[in-house]
Structure 1
Amino acid sequence: MNELDQKINTHFPGLVVRKDLVKTVKGNAIVPSYVLEYLLGQYCATSDDATIQTGIETVKEILRKHYVHRNEAGLVRSNIKEKGRYKVIDKISAALNDKADVYEAEFSNLGLKQVLIDSRTVKAHPKLLVSGIWCIADLEYEFTEDKNASPWILSTLKPIQLSHLDFSSYIEARKQFTTDEWIDLLIQSVGFNPEMFSKRSKLTQLIRLIPFCERNYNLIELGPKGTGKSHIYSEFSPHGILISGGEISVPKLFVNNSSGKIGLVGYWDCVAFDEFAGKQKRVDKALVDIMKNYMANKSFSRGVETLGAEASMVFVGNTQHTVPYMLKHSDLFDELPDKFYDSAFLDRIHFYIPGWEVDIIRGEMFSSGYGFVVDYLAEILRSLRNHDYSDRYQQHFTLSSDISTRDRDGINKTFSGLMKILFPHGGASKEEIEEVLKFAIEGRKRVKDQLMRIDSTYGNVRFAYLDYSQQVKSVTTLEEEEYPHYYHKTIADGEEGERTTQAGMPPDAVEVQQIVEPALKEKHLNFQENQKGISFDTLLGPYLIGATKITIADPYIRQFYQVRNLMEFLETVVKLKSQDEEVSVHLITTEDEFKGEQQKEYLEKIKESSSAIGVNFTWEFDGTGTIHARHIVTDKGWKISLDRGLDIFQQYGMNDVFTFANRLQQYRSCKAFEATFIKNDMSKS
């Protein structure tokens, strides 16, 4: 265990589990993660290896004996008949048989219907009446000559949920962790390795939890396939339900007028619509209308009666096009069905998660560290629905007066949700509060900016906030920074702007051969975390043209990916030089304390390879230990100061030769970094 895992086990004993164990015990059981982690939490919530191994075998045995596989349902039914009583793990739902005046249960995998269930059990667990819940149940078989009587009897039922929650202990334990440690614990709890994610990407993952801790929160996430958009809503919490296909009726979702039976929004904390995108999907106009009213007012009408509910609504779907394509030809809501492509509906959405920023899930991204048993975290989040943290920025900041009431509601609800997740105990610094507030504003701005493209009646809004020195701080979306020449046009004007990116070129301009030496200027650039469209070619290339001597000072050219960055920098140099010219590149770095020999081997291989194509590459280790600043100096009189050196890209599928992020830098997400270009005539020497 690393230091964080030890700390997690110290402060949350019995409430955490090693996340790789879920795959170990799952086998071919088609069962949500929270069901498996419930069992693992009973037997494996420890850091002792021997106990964990024993617990794994116990859980496997429980699943082998009691989890019902559909193809073995007949065998299980036979066991119940022969033994008279048997324990099963299955998804159980219930319905009222009004002709017989009894409640009858249905077992999803076991294939049994009309199983008698006590009315007290139904009253204690009302979700049985809506879509069903996973349970551990004792089922009895008692044959009778009465043809109208069912031989199956449900004797006991226990939902797979935490029985007790000590919220005050949770708050006290949270105080023992730094903010970064706490975020990593939450990311591990979701099942991911935090080392594979940037800070912004971690916050994006945690936004997905807000519908579980914030009442009536409306969230949308559109992005490429395979990024885990629906996983949270199907696997994470017994209080959320995922509706596949994105198609559902008004009676099932809200209320059945004929029976008076309330729908899903009355029983679940979070109702998520999977595969929500798709222009060809059939959508009931009445559903859109009642959903608009519910999302705005937390209520819906049934005849003359108005009912209220607290369920949050989540919409997830796949996009077919890239962000610049959507911005050029339509907007970021373009993939939605026509009846949902409605400005009044979209205006009710509090936050738009940019799914294109989320990496496609790879094997190495899963965690083997410790995280909360997800059922425990689900209960914590549910209890936080009773709290309101939306005013916790107001001692430091105020929102711009331009921002409308509906925009403020969206920002405040996102801010409140993130603060509950990150700082349930309070204790956030001004800087941390500001970071959360900016993120909340950006997510709502993404919605509003697209609405202004769709509907010309929406006026321009300046999304900004003020600190108490009255300094105005504007907020932009990341797409706005990456694609300003597309972002700021409307569909009506049909024009392409001529503005370029901070790197000096449009993000789709990748042909370095087309770079002509521009009128270079001194400048300072800031790049946001997760920003794309950046490469050494476009960022550094114009300042390297014509240089015959280049010096790189970077103390961190040690690990393989760092040396690869160096190699890619040399590729840019090679693209820019004529075949009949030679360029000298000298690296000053520091020796790796543990893998110095391997580091030297890497650098010697680069030297050997470079000499064959007209690049004289040399390197030296700084023996003084004084090299800290990272910069590039050329004999053309330019000094480029990079606060991260060449290490500007986040982790990507480096071993996957079939991903474009591996081949082309502009398709990688960046780390946050700064670059300063200084005219330095002394460097010619």
Structure 2
Amino acid sequence: MSDLDDRINEHFAGFVVRKDLVKAVKGNAIVPTYVLEYLLGQYCATDDEASIGTGIETVKEILRKHYVHRSEAGLIQSTIKEKGRYKVIDQISVSLNEKTDSYEATFDNLGIKKVAVDSGTIKAHPKLLVTGVWCIADVQYEFAEDARTSPWILETIKPIQIAKVDYEAFRVARSNFDTDDWIDLLMQSIGFNPEAFGRRAKLLQLMRLIPFVERNYNIIELGPKGTGKSHIYSEFSPHGQLISGGEVSIPKLFVNNSNGRIGLVGYWDVVAFDEFAGREKKANKALVDIMKNYMANKTFSRGVNPMGAEASFAFVGNTDHNVPFMLKNSDLFEALPSQFHDSAFIDRLHSYLPGWEVDVIRGEMFTKGYGFIVDYLAEILRHLRSEDFSHRPDQYFKISEKISTRDRDAIYKTMSGFLKLIFPNGGETAEDVEELLRLAIESRKRVKDQLARIDATYPEVDFYYTGSDGEKRRVTTVEEEEYPQFYHLKPALDPKEQEQGEENEDNQTEDSTLHEASVAAENSRPKPKVAALAEGHHVFAENRRGISYDRVFGPYIVGASKIVVTDPYVRYFYQIKNMMEFVEMVIQRKPPEDQVSIHLVTGPDDGNVAKQRELLDSIADACAGTGIEFTWVFDGTGTGHARDITTDTGWKIVLDRGLDIFQAPIRKDGFSLGDRLQDHRTIKGFYVTYVREGA
């Protein structure tokens, strides 16, 4: 174990677990992480390897005997009947049968319904009425002659969660860790190896936890696929509920006026909306209106009576384009459904987490170290919801008075969340506060800057803060620094607004000057040189150097938005590496704001097709956020040995060797320029023919 793991076990004995054990016990049991860690916390909360081994076997046995697989539901039902009663681990929900004036439970995996539940159980666990809750339950079977009476009876039920948490002991134990170690402990607690992340990347991961510690906090994260956006909300806490964006309704989310039953916001700390993005998706206007009211005022209407709730909202979804494309052509909210691509809705978001900065999840990112049992940490975070740390930064810094109350509240709520997570016992320094304050301001600035693009009536805001020296310290977003030529572009004005703008053109502000500079920067940006392209046939002699993909293909793919590579022999590692280098060449050639799709048609490696698939998929993962969409397919059209590259600009490049134009390098220890630079590799003999199709 590492020194950090030793101290974690020393100061949080009984409340931590080795995070890689979850995979060791999960098998094919489709249960949330917090369920497994609850069981591991009962039997494996130790650093003794022998005890861990015994505990793992115990947990596996419990899951084997009591976790209900849907495919084995009939067998478990029979076991309950024969034994009279049996303990099961299942997801259980309860509804009121108004005809019989009784509560009835439904066991999701076990497949039984109308299980009798007494009122005392419902009073103790009201969430059962809203949605499924993972529980350990004793189920009885008593057959009755009356066909209207269900033979199933719920005798005892225990939601899977830690019974008691000593918050004061938690705060005292926190003082034994410095800031860096504490952040690493939190990273390990959510399952990640902190060594695989930089400082900012760690803070962005922890930002996903803020809805669990802040009441009525609204966060959005849009980014590429595979970055773990929904993991925190589905697996991390029994107090969070993840629902599909397409399954949202007013009764489910707020209140059912027909029976007065409160929806998800009344019972859960966090309601997360998965797959929220998608321009083609439709949303009920009444739902959007009630969501906007709730996000702004923390209330919703139940008939004529307004009701309050504390649930935070998290919206997660995938983007269709990379950042420069969105900044040049639309805005960073472009992926939202049209009903939510609304300035009033967007303005109610406290922060925008830049999902494009989060890496695609890879195997080496997962930790083998110790972290909090997620249910223990979830209870701590729930306790912290009742505290307010928002004004603790005021002792060091002052936020600009020129920003609106809504902007200020958003920044303070994000700051409060960060401080609760990292400094629950206080003790933060001015340097600590400034780092978090800049990120909190940036996350709100990202929202406000995009609002100015979406709705010209929103004024631009100067986001800055001052320290004890009184000096203004302005905050910028990362994408603003990276793409200034696009970031400050304005939305097109209608004729009336254009006329008004011309009347006011003498009143130029500092921001408009910056915008002009940005446009000038774009215009002065060097454009890719386009060679004089011609059809022709070229032969390259064996053992030459100085040949690269950029020289052979580069000029002919400039301006293409769709490229199809047909090569039946992209099978082995070195051949797939060639494909990756072709993709790299396209990325270097294209403007960063452009979107290009590259589609590979190849043949299967009959000897190891699984590895081939894995490597090709890894190219697609590596392209996330680059403006390249890489797809591939095994040839099913009988094109045989055809090897060519076609573009939607009309060029076809015919190759006798496909992408396999380089000789195998001589393997030796040390470094070789040929490994990194194609110009320094020796080529095989090959030819290339350029054909202008449709000319």
TM-score, normalising length from structure 2?
Answer: 0.73
Contact 1:482 1:507 in 2 (8 A): no
Q: Does 1:142 align with 2:142?
A: yes
Query: How far 1:491 sits from its partner (Å)?
Result: 2.0
Cα deviations by residue, 1:364-409 (Å, 9 ceiling, x for unpaired): 1111111000000000000000100000110111111221000001
- Per-residue displacement from partner, 1:10-56 (whole Å, max 9, x unpaired)? 11101110111111111111110000000000001111000000000
SS in structure 1 at match of 2:489: coil
The residue number in structure 2 matching 1:210 is 210
Counterpart CA distance in 1 for 2:385 and 2:392 is 16
Cα deviation code 1:566-586 (max 9, x no counterpart): xxxxxxxxxxxxxxxxxxxxx
Distance 1:331 1:384, change over 3 A: same
Q: What does 1:399-548 align with in structure 2 at a 5 Å threshold?
A: 399-492=399-492, 497-498=518-519, 500=521
Q: 1:457 to 1:609 in 2, by over 3 A?
A: closer
Give 1:304 deviation, angstroms.
Answer: 1.3
Counterparts in 2 of 1:142 and 1:416: CA distance versus 1, 3 Å: same
1:311 is aligned to 2:311: yes
Distance in 1, Cα, partners of 2:18 & 2:526: 45
Higher mean C-alpha deviation, range 376-385 or range 297-306: 297-306
In the alignment, residue 304 of structure 1 is paired with which amino acid?
V
Give the counterpart letter for 1:425 in structure 2.
Answer: N
Superposed counterparts of 1:105-184, under 5 Å: 105-184=105-184
SS state at 2:76 partner: helix
- Residue 95 of structure 2 aligns with an amino acid whose one-letter code is A
Matched residue type, 1:196: A
> 1:460: Cα distance to partner?
1.0
CA distance in 2, matches of 1:247, 1:237: 21
Cα distance in 2 between the residues matched to 1:143 and 1:12: 48
Instruction: Give the letter aligned to residue 187 of structure 1.
Output: M
> What is aligned with 1:647?
none
- Asked if structure 2 preserves the Cα contact closer than 8 Å seen for 1:299 and 1:309, the reply is yes
8 Å CA contact 1:187–1:206 kept in 2: the answer is yes
Which residue in 1 is equivalent to 2:14? 14
Aligned mates of 2:342, 2:491 — CA distance in 1: 15
Q: In 2, distance between residues paired with 1:215 and 1:608?
A: 53
The Cα shift of 1:509 comes to 10
How far apart, in 1, do the equivalents of 2:4 and 2:520 lie? 46
C-alpha distance in 2, partners of 1:219/1:101? 41
CA shift, 1:261, in A, is 0.7
Q: Which amino acid aligns with 2:278?
A: G
* Structure 1: distance between partners of 2:278 and 2:169: 45
RMSD: 2.8
Measure the CA separation in 1 of the matches of 2:529 and 2:466. 37
Stretches of structure 2 lacking an aligned partner (at least 5 in a row):
495-514, 531-548, 555-583, 590-667, 682-695
Equivalents in 2 of 1:438, 1:499: separation in Å?
A: 28
* Partner SS for 1:386: coil
Q: 1 CA distance for matches of 2:88 and 2:527?
A: 57
Deviation per CA, 1:631-669, whole angstroms, max 9, x where unpaired? xxxxxxxxxxxxxxxxxxxxxxxxxxxxxxxxxxxxxxx
Q: What is the one-letter code of the residue matched to 1:102?
A: S
Q: What amino acid is the match of 2:218?
A: N
The one-letter code of the counterpart of 1:462 is D
Q: 1:532-556: per-residue Cα shift (whole Å, max 9, x none)?
A: x9xxx99xxxxxxxxxxxxxxxxxx
Aligned equivalents of 1:244 and 1:507: distance in 2?
A: 43
| SS of corresponding position for 1:168 | helix
Cα offsets for 1:506-529 (capped at 9, x unmatched) = 899999999xxxxxxxxxxxxxxx
Residue in 2 aligned with 1:270? 270
Deviation of residue 418 (structure 1)? 0.5
Using the alignment, how far apart are the partners of 1:383 and 1:404 within structure 2? 30
Distance 1:131 1:30 in 2: 17
Find the residue that maps to 1:394 and give its secondary structure: helix
Match of 2:367 in 1: 367
Tell me, what secondary structure is at the counterpart of 2:261? coil
- SS class of match (1:219): strand
AA in 1 matched with 2:173: A
Structure 1 position 605, deviation (Å): 4.8
3-state SS in 2 of match to 1:411: helix
CA gap 1:455/1:507 in 2 versus in 1, 3 angstroms: farther
Q: Check conservation: 1:106, 1:115, Cα contact below 8 A.
A: yes
CA contact (8 A) 1:329 1:491 kept: no
Assess if the C-alpha contact under 8 Å between 1:452 and 1:459 holds in 2.
yes
Contact 1:194-1:202 at 8 Å conserved across structures: yes
Aligned partner of 2:248: which letter? I
Q: Is the 8 A contact 2:456 2:491 kept in 1?
A: no
Amino acid at match of 2:201: S
Is the Cα contact below 8 Å between 2:19 and 2:367 reproduced in 1? yes
Matched with 2:30 is 30
Distance 1:492 1:308 in 2: 40
State how 1:87-98 maps to structure 2 within 5 Å.
87-98=87-98
**Rounded Cα–Cα distance in structure 1 between residues aligned with 2:402 and 2:529:** 36
Q: Return the offset for 1:246.
A: 3.6
Equivalent residue, structure 2, for 1:341: 341
CA drift at 1:602: 5.4
Give deviations 1:116-172, integer Å, cap 9, x for gaps. Answer: 011100100000000121000000001111111110000000000110100011101
Counterpart-to-counterpart distance in 2, 1:89 and 1:609 = 54
Post-superposition, which runs of at least 4 consecutive aligned residues in structure 1 deviate over 2 A? 493-501, 504-514, 601-610
Match of 2:297 in 1: 297
Question: In the comparison of the two structures, how many residue pairs are matched?
Answer: 533
Matches within 5 A, 1:60-99: 60-99=60-99
TM-score with structure 1 setting the length: 0.74
Does the residue aligned with 2:434 lie in a helix, a strand or coil?
helix
Residue of structure 1 equivalent to 2:285? 285
Report SS of the residue matched to 2:161.
Answer: coil
Aligned 8 A contact 2:674 2:680 in 1: no
> Are residues 509 and 69 of structure 1, via their aligned partners in 2, closer, same or farther at CA, if it must alter by over 3 Å?
farther
CA distance in 2, matches of 1:444, 1:413: 10
Equivalent AA in structure 2 for residue 123 of structure 1? K
Q: C-alpha distance in 1, partners of 2:126/2:520?
A: 57
Tell me: CA distance 1:98–1:318, structure 2 relative to 1, closer, same or farther (3 Å): same
Deviation, structure 1 residue 303: 1.9
